[in-house]
Amino acid sequence: MKALFTLLSILPRFIYVLIADLIVITRIYKHFEGFKITKANLTIIMPNLSPDEIELESIKSYKQTLISTRETFIAWSRSSKFINSNILVINNNYLLSEHKEKNKGFMMVAIHSRSVDMLLSWINSQTSSTSLYKKIKFRPLDKYVRKIRENKINKVYETGILGVKKLLNALNKNEVVCMAADQVPQRGMGEYVDLFGRKSYTTTLIPRLALKTNKAAIFCSVNKANDAGFLRINLHPSSEDLYDKSKHLLSLNQSIEKLIYENIYDYSWEYKKYRRPYQGDQDPYKF
């Protein structure tokens, strides 16, 4: 499997750009569920745009989704040194350095922009971590990706009660944990909070861990740095509101919005963020 991903990662970036352009020119993108979901999400967050403008914005975003698959193939097959050579800029890198020096443990809180595996690989080249993992249905790929993420020094646990306990134990041991802020949680493990002006079922795990452990949180994402294909890592400190029980959930979603606005086209809008509609809201993904 590694040989396949290595081959796909060796293909020049312009090949991926060409494929994305062909998908747009031939208009077959209209039949892809990922594009339909992207369009539904952008309709929610850009309510002032016309249908034609939403279509154009959705195309721009979906093209970046297609092109960024190469970055995932790189993360799944190449060395940390090669992966990091694709990262041109790290904004606010001092945050990571400061918290590592304190040796008190902290949370790396990410969103799904471009390749999450590229971001996770960079984080784990700086520090070992404990993270949650959503099982991939195709078993051989699941086993392979999990091994890549563990990389002999990291701990990876399937999302669930046991995984949450492992995260808490790691923080209590002053270790680093990695979590995704924008995944829709299981029923009973979230609350409805505004995200881009619409109620979104939001995880309570990150705020609860922040309140329980009082550990620092660094919000992070990866974006395109230039047209040559180099990447930019964005690091932001959490708001103090994350540690205020009356404000912590809204603070989480505000941090998500801030990261998305770094480059709105890089975010993975093909994810059904609003798939558990608030009472009275329509399901935006009924096509």
Q: Which amino acid is at 23?
A: I
In a domain, 24, yes or no: no
| pTM, rounded to two decimals | 0.92
- pLDDT digit string, tens, across residues 172-213: 999 999 999 999 998 888 999 999 999 999 999 999 999 999
In a domain, 189, yes or no: yes
- pLDDT digit string, tens, across residues 100-140: 999 999 999 999 999 999 999 999 999 999 999 888 889 99
pLDDT at 287: 81
Phi, psi torsion values for 12, nearest 5 degrees: -60, 150
Which ranges constitute the DSSP H helices of 68-183?
A: 69-77, 80-85, 94-102, 116-126, 139-150, 161-172
In a domain, 156, yes or no: yes
Its domain, for residue 253, covers 80-266
In a domain, 117, yes or no: yes
Mean of pLDDT values over 259-270: 95
Q: Residue 218: which H helix or E strand, with range?
A: strand 216-224
Domain count, the chain: 1
Instruction: Output the CA torsion 152→158→162→167 (10° steps).
Output: 60
In a domain, 194, yes or no: yes
In a domain, 108, yes or no: yes
Mean of pLDDT values over 229-250: 94
